[in-house]
């Protein structure tokens, strides 16, 4: 069979050079060395062989002590490695500033060895051992071992210099009684659709997480866990748009006009309409769409994007919070290194998560360097807090739980399995995150729809007159004094239990209207019955029950049995009605529904725990979609037999071989990836011998599919969509290492072989390119 069509060969090609046919990349876990007080960027495993045995040595390519850059390190520190006996008996290990008297090797279920070191500096380093092999790191500062009983030592000079470097890094207070001081201030920001909160803690006291509870606009209150995610801009100075004034949170007056609410959702336009689809209401009744329209009008008036509005709000909130932290905490707290953690909904796209990062970078100079590693999904953060809250409950290895984070805007869910309890609790995902925009804001919207139904549009318009003072007061009364206490229709109408606070089921409407006994309106007061509240709550609660049930079924399918627990957190998660409905749903299934005491603050406190040492950690995630690229592969007459395949086959102009476009999926939906594992996809492109810089700027389009079995070919593209476009710049590679080829006409060209590298973080995928042993950052990611 012959193919007359010929194509230029500068496109993306997958796999090895012909004639070897490419195969789908499989996930290969990378051996990792884990330090309690050391961060690393990448590890490389080297095999060292002597006359009697082979030892694996991990080379740390970039090292920081306590995440603080080490200075004044000599560039000639030799690190020698000596094979010892084959047992795990406390070998003498010395790594600069990270030396231990206790070495605990832990072999995980995947066969990885994690060697843990306490962060103590001995009074004097051990003598240098005889050199079997010298291992030099990129920073030429440290190395350690993976495997059986290998010991590492350093020269005295290098060790002393590193101690001086650490001391200088901490402003002269780095070493105290021989201990590395790695204290940092961790700040968690839970930027919510309806409310926002900030928590913080010091790494020296990882379980003592505090919340900023005093906010402007409310006098005499020190118990405000969260503030409204609202902003109001003043008049615009046409000569200086950037300096437009605004107020935020509780500073906004009840009768204020042009208040922007729900603007967080503008970061993920793809979710527009989730509110209506989730509970089956019309767009006319969807208050979120109304808020979006208000936001759009204001954005046009202010010449501001959603990212800029979010940045304005976050900047103001953070500026107040950091001043409050400085006032309440010890002297010098602001001199400590700071790390930020920002929460994002699990169901958001990577585009929306990236937009959140961009907003944070614009918000304040302190946050200009936040990165994907500083994002955590809301359910993961909540799970960390729940595990911390219930740590004395007697968890066992193998226990599973569903985390339901029911907030103001969204309900996010995820399921985990406890894989280890000691020395640090570790969990892994067993069901990937799901969710929908069915948060408690929709209950407020439901109440407003009820008011329109019984009062009519004219009366409701009167309530919204004069800045909406009457309407806002009614909504605030419902939100703060009715919604949080509703447990059931019977309980509500009976006035609650004896031990309950008195139920307030009467709201003054704030305007004069006729009595209406049919709708329980007397003397301008509205009495709200339990049946009405159930009608308002039920669409959201039913949608949440469905989401929880899907997670339970997923746990059963993955684990062979249902979960042990359901952890219910978030503002809506504190609802007694939702809690009771979930308990009734799982009655008889041996599943406990648990709510932490501070359920509303679970996400923001968990965000801080995410960066704390020795607290619970998530070690593996489930991929919700398949990821791959469209690349040309060698034509296989036995495999590519369909008419469509034959139609799309072409002759490569450079190689003179027949190729065919094919989807190459290098991460499959449902795959389990350990955190910081890197998935590599081998590719190559052809460039001329006299290439220009632009010839080494490659653009690769990453595709995703949520189908259980993604298609093999681009023309079968059902369920396939573009995830992002990655632009990489490989200028700087060594042309002497490039593969030199000839086309059928004898003309020479280069083949540039490289790997697309994907790594999974808590909340987002990160990308890089590796070529000739070097890592190249992605120049641009376009969603």
Contacts of 378 (CB under 8 A, 6+ apart): 190, 343, 344, 345, 346, 405, 407, 410, 412, 603
- Name the least confident of 231-235, 373-377, 602-606: 231-235
The predicted pLDDT at position 103 comes to 33
Pick the residue with more confidence: 540 or 42?
Answer: 540
The predicted pLDDT at position 92 comes to 35
The predicted pLDDT at position 771 comes to 95
Please, are residues 695 and 9 in contact by the beta-carbon 8 Å criterion?
A: no
The predicted pLDDT at position 552 comes to 98
Give me 190's structure tokens: 């839970």
CA trace torsion 250, 251, 256, 258 (10° rounding): -90
Pick the residue with more confidence: 50 or 423?
Answer: 423
The predicted pLDDT at position 668 comes to 92
The predicted pLDDT at position 121 comes to 30
- The Cα-based distances of 15 to 18, 27, 631, 686, 753 in angstroms read 9, 15, 9, 14, 9
The predicted pLDDT at position 290 comes to 52
pLDDT tens digit string along 594-605? 999 889 999 999
Long-range own/partner contacts, residues 416-425 (CB < 8 A, 24 or more apart):
416/383, 416/618, 417/559, 419/109, 419/619, 420/108, 421/395, 421/396, 421/397, 423/104, 423/106, 423/116, 423/614, 424/614, 424/615, 424/616, 424/617, 425/387, 425/391, 425/395, 425/615, 425/616, 425/617
The predicted pLDDT at position 209 comes to 96
CA-closest candidate to residue 766, choices 670, 702, 722: 702
Mean pLDDT of 646-662: 90
The predicted pLDDT at position 411 comes to 92
The CATH class, in words, for 185-376 is: alpha beta
The predicted pLDDT at position 182 comes to 65
- The Cα-based distances of 424 to 110, 128, 226, 613, 641 in angstroms read 17, 33, 31, 9, 53
The predicted pLDDT at position 197 comes to 97
- Name the least confident of 189-203, 279-293, 573-587: 279-293
User: Tokens 């200075």 sit at which residue?
Assistant: 71
For the chain, give the number of residues: 783
The predicted pLDDT at position 14 comes to 65
243 pLDDT tier (thresholds 50, 70, 90): low
Q: CA triplet 316, 319, 321: central angle to 5 degrees?
A: 105
Pick the residue with more confidence: 391 or 341?
Answer: 341
Mean pLDDT of 468-483: 90
271 pLDDT tier (thresholds 50, 70, 90): low
The predicted pLDDT at position 577 comes to 95
61 pLDDT tier (thresholds 50, 70, 90): very low
The predicted pLDDT at position 139 comes to 28
650 pLDDT tier (thresholds 50, 70, 90): very high
CA distance 554 to 562: 9
497 pLDDT tier (thresholds 50, 70, 90): low
- Name the least confident of 66-80, 200-214, 255-269, 606-620: 66-80
CA distance 745 to 618: 55
The predicted pLDDT at position 302 comes to 80
Handedness of CA 539, 543, 546, 552 (dihedral sign): negative
Mean pLDDT of 503-521: 90
The predicted pLDDT at position 468 comes to 82
Phi-psi region at 510: left, alpha or beta (left = phi > 0; alpha = psi -120 to 50): left
- Name the least confident of 6-20, 117-131, 569-583, 585-599: 117-131
The predicted pLDDT at position 778 comes to 81
Q: Kindly report the number of other CB atoms within 10 A of residue 124's CB atom.
A: 9
Please, are residues 404 and 569 in contact by the beta-carbon 8 Å criterion?
A: yes
Could you give the 3-state DSSP secondary structure of residue 6? Answer: strand
Handedness of CA 34, 40, 46, 51 (dihedral sign): negative
Quick check: 161 pLDDT over 90? no
CATH number of 391-595: 3.30.420.40
Please, are residues 346 and 411 in contact by the beta-carbon 8 Å criterion?
A: no
pLDDT tens digit string along 693-736? 999 999 988 999 989 899 988 888 777 888 889 899 999 999 99
- The Cα-based distances of 393 to 388, 389, 564, 662 in angstroms read 10, 9, 12, 51
CA-closest candidate to residue 696, choices 779, 782, 767: 779
DSSP 546: H
pLDDT tens digit string along 447-469? 999 999 999 999 999 998 877 88
Tell me the residue ranges of DSSP E strands in 131-286: 133-134, 144-145, 150-154, 175-176, 179-180, 185-191, 195-202, 210-211, 227-228, 230-233, 246-248, 260-261
Quick check: 277 pLDDT over 60? no
Quick check: 105 pLDDT over 50? no
Percent of the chain with pLDDT over 90: 46
* Structural domain spans, the chain: 6-27+626-782, 38-180, 185-376, 391-595
Please state, rounded to an integer, the average pLDDT across all residues of the chain.
76
CA distance 288 to 382: 25
Query: Is the entire prediction scored with pTM above 0.75?
Result: no
DSSP 481: I
Mean pLDDT of 730-752: 93
Mean pLDDT of 372-379: 94
Mean pLDDT of 544-550: 97
CA-closest candidate to residue 82, choices 128, 45, 137, 141: 128
Longest alpha-carbon distance in the chain: 99
Report whether the peptide linkage leading into residue 491 is cis, meaning its omega lies within 30 degrees of zero.
no
Q: Of the segments 134-148, 669-683, 692-706, which one has the largest average pLDDT value?
A: 692-706
Q: Which residues does residue 54 pair with via DSSP β-bridges, in sequence order? A: 49
DSSP 36: S
CA distance 746 to 56: 45
CA-based Rg of the chain, rounded to a whole angstrom? Answer: 30
Quick check: 315 pLDDT over 60? yes
DSSP 267: G
CA distance 66 to 346: 29
- Name the least confident of 148-162, 320-334, 438-452: 148-162
């Amino acid at each position: 069979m012959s193919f007359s069509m010929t194509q230029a060969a500068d496109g993306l090609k997958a796999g090895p050079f012909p004639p070897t046919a490419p195969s789908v990349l499989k996930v290969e876990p990378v051996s990792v060395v884990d330090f309690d007080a050391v961060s690393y960027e990448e590890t490389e495993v080297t095999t060292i062989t002597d006359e009697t045995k082979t030892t694996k040595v991990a080379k740390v390519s970039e090292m920081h002590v306590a995440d603080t850059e080490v200075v004044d390190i000599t560039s000639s520190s030799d690190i020698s490695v000596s094979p010892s006996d084959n047992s795990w008996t406390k070998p003498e290990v010395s790594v600069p500033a990270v030396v231990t008297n206790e070495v605990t090797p832990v072999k995980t279920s995947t066969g990885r060895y994690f060697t843990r070191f306490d962060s103590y500096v001995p009074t004097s380093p051990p003598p240098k051992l005889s050199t079997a092999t010298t291992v030099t790191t990129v920073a030429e500062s440290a190395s350690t071992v993976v495997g059986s009983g290998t010991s590492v030592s350093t020269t005295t000079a290098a060790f002393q210099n590193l101690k001086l470097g650490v001391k200088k890094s901490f402003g002269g207070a780095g070493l105290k009684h021989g201990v590395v001081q790695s204290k940092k201030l961790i700040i968690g920001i839970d930027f919510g659709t309806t409310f926002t909160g900030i928590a913080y803690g010091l790494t020296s006291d990882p379980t003592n997480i505090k919340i900023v509870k005093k906010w402007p606009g409310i006098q005499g209150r020190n118990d405000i866990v969260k503030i409204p995610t609202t902003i109001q801009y003043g008049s615009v100075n046409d000569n200086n748009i950037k300096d437009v004034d605004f107020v935020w949170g509780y500073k906004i007056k009840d009768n204020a006009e042009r208040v922007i609410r729900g603007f967080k959702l503008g970061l993920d336009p793809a979710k527009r309409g989730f509110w209506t689809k989730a509970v089956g209401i019309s767009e006319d009744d969807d208050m979120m769409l109304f808020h979006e329209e208000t936001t759009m009008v204001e954005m046009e008036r202010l010449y501001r994007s959603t990212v800029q509005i979010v940045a304005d709000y976050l900047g103001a909130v953070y500026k107040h919070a950091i001043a409050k932290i400085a006032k309440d905490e010890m002297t010098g707290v602001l001199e400590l290194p700071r790390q930020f953690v920002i929460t994002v909904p699990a169901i958001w796209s990577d585009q929306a998560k990236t937009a959140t990062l961009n907003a944070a970078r614009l918000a304040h100079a302190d946050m200009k360097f936040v990165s994907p590693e500083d994002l955590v999904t809301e359910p993961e953060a909540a799970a960390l807090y729940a595990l911390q809250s219930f740590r004395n409950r007697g968890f066992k290895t193998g226990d599973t739980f569903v985390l339901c984070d029911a907030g103001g805007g969204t309900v996010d869910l995820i399921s985990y399995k406890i894989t280890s309890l000691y020395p640090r609790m570790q969990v892994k995902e067993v069901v990937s995150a799901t969710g929908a925009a069915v948060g408690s804001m929709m209950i407020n919207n439901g109440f407003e729809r009820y008011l329109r139904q019984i009062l009519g549009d004219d009366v409701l318009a009167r309530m919204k007159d004069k800045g909406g003072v009457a309407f806002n007061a009614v909504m605030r009364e419902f939100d703060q004094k009715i919604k949080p206490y509703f447990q059931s229709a019977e309980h509500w109408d009976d006035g609650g239990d004896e031990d309950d606070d008195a139920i307030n089921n009467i709201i003054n409407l704030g305007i004069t209207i006729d009595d209406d006994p049919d709708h329980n309106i007397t003397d301008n007061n509205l009495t709200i019955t339990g049946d009405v509240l159930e009608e308002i709550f039920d669409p959201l609660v039913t949608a949440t029950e469905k989401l929880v049930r899907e997670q339970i079924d997923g746990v059963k399918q993955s684990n062979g049995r249902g979960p042990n627990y359901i952890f219910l957190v978030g503002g809506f998660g504190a609802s007694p009605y939702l809690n009771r409905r979930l308990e009734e749903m799982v009655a008889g299934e041996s599943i406990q529904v648990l709510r932490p005491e501070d359920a509303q603050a679970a996400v923001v406190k968990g965000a801080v725990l995410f960066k704390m040492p020795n607290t619970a950690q998530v070690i593996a995630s489930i991929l919700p979609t398949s990821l791959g690229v469209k690349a040309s592969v060698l034509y296989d007459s036995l495999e590519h037999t369909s008419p469509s395949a034959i139609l799309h086959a072409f002759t490569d102009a450079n190689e003179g071989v027949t190729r065919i476009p094919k989807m190459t999926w290098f991460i499959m939906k449902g795959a389990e990836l350990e955190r910081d594992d890197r998935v590599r996809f081998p590719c190559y492109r052809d460039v001329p011998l006299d290439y220009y810089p632009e010839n080494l700027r490659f653009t690769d389009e990453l595709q995703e599919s949520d189908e259980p079995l993604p298609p093999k070919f681009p023309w079968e593209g059902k369920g396939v969509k573009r995830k992002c476009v990655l632009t990489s710049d490989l200028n700087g590679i060594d042309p002497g290492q490039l593969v030199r080829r000839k086309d059928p006409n004898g003309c020479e060209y280069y083949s540039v072989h490289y790997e697309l590298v994907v790594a999974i973080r808590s909340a987002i995928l990160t990308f890089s390119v590796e070529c000739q042993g070097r890592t190249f950052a992605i120049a641009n990611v376009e969603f």
